[in-house]
Amino acid sequence: MTAAGRPPPRPEIIEAITGHRSIRRFRADPVDDATLDALIACAQAAPTSSHKQAYSVIRVDDSATRAILAEIAEEEEWLPIAPLVLVWCADLNRVRTVVHAAGQPAAYDNMEEFMVAVIDATLAATYAYVAAELIGLGGVLVGGLRNDPARVTEALRLPELVAPLFGMCLGFPDEDPQVKPRLPRPVVLHQDTYDPTGLVAEIAAYDDIVSSYYQERETNRRRTTWTSEMIRKFAQPERPHMRAFLESQGFRFD
Ligand SMILES: Cc1cc2nc3c(=O)[nH]c(=O)nc-3n(C[C@H](O)[C@H](O)[C@H](O)COP(=O)(O)O)c2cc1C
């Protein structure tokens, strides 16, 4: 049922998508190559800025490389054993190579093209992730790779103008966690112009919902609210090394 009070068309699709939760425990069953191929086809079907397709994805099976990624992300419990590990990368190397090979200059070194690559990679990953969930897989994204993106780059031998953004672990779920409540719709969806009216009251109510979720969920119960989590998350700049790393990979932000 939507907030508007009527069931949406094809409610089973909406229910499947809104039933998302990150999965961090997997059955041993592998994800076969045909399934991976289908997921990458879905990723490639995503919209892409001016058809630039400015991303690459690295499948990581090698156990030594997995161990490095797990150490970097501090996710040693499940990253080494997840049936499928993909690392999604912003990639301006491919377009630059092709344009240069045609003997033409390429203005890749600016903020806009960096954003294009990040947006393209994220959309592609999202299509693959949603497709995976719709066919019964589950998984989790791994932003922790950005704890040491230079080491990830070295381990995956990423060339200049390719930057790891996040990992994605996928497999058949071996847990059934609760759905984590999202922000109230009115603070996310605005009509015609941005309207912050009612934000404080909406978030206070949401904090109660999130607090109950954290106290009632099956694992890692704790007393917290969304506001407390955001205060903690925003107490200090996260990963202040990112700009220097990206510049060392050849990205520019002018
Ligand atoms: C870009 C990105 C990076 C993430 N990185 C991690 C991570 O390193 N470790 C982890 O356990 N979860 C990670 N997550 C999962 C989020 O914590 C999770 O999606 C969020 O708390 C909402 O929970 P849900 O996915 O179960 O609904 C990441 C999610 C995103 C979108």
> Is-above-0.95 flag for pTM?
yes
Yes or no: say if 17 and 133 are a contact pair by the CB < 8 Å rule.
Answer: yes
Q: What's the confidence (pLDDT) of residue 1?
A: 57
- pLDDT (0 to 100) of residue 184: 97
Say yes or no: CB of residue 25 within 6 Å of ligand 1. no
Ligand 1 center–CA 101 separation, angstroms: 39
12 C-alpha vs ligand 1 centroid, how far in Å?
24
How close is the Cα of 98 to the center of ligand 1, in Å?
35
Q: Which amino acid is at 13?
A: I
Which amino acid residue places its CA nearest to atom 7 of ligand 1?
142
Task: For residues 179 and 22, give the distance between their C-alpha atoms in angstroms, rounded to a whole number.
Answer: 9
180 ligand 1 Cβ < 6 A = yes
CB of 140 within 6 A of ligand 1: the answer is yes
- For residue 45, give both structure tokens: 């079907």
CB 182 near ligand 1, within 6 Å: no
Burial 123-139 (b: 16+ CB within 10 A, else e): bbbebbbbbbbeeebbb
Pocket test for ligand 1, best of 17, 21, 22 (most atoms within 8 A of CB): 22
Q: How far is the CA of 133 from the centre of ligand 1 (A)?
A: 15
pLDDT score recorded for residue 172 = 98
Q: What is the pLDDT along the chain (254 residues), one digit of tens a residue?
A: 566 678 888 999 999 999 999 999 999 999 999 999 999 999 999 999 999 999 999 999 999 999 999 999 999 999 999 999 999 999 999 999 999 999 999 999 999 999 999 999 999 999 999 999 999 999 999 999 999 999 999 999 999 999 999 999 999 999 999 999 999 999 999 999 999 999 999 999 999 999 999 999 988 899 999 999 999 999 999 999 999 999 999 999 99
The end-to-end CA distance of the chain, in Å, is 46
Report the atom number in ligand 1 closest to the C-alpha of 24: 11
Name the residue with tokens 């947006």: 119
Cβ(171) – ligand 1 distance below 6 Å: no
pLDDT score, position 9: 87
| Packed helices 11-18 and 111-134: angle between N→C axes, nearest 10 degrees | 110
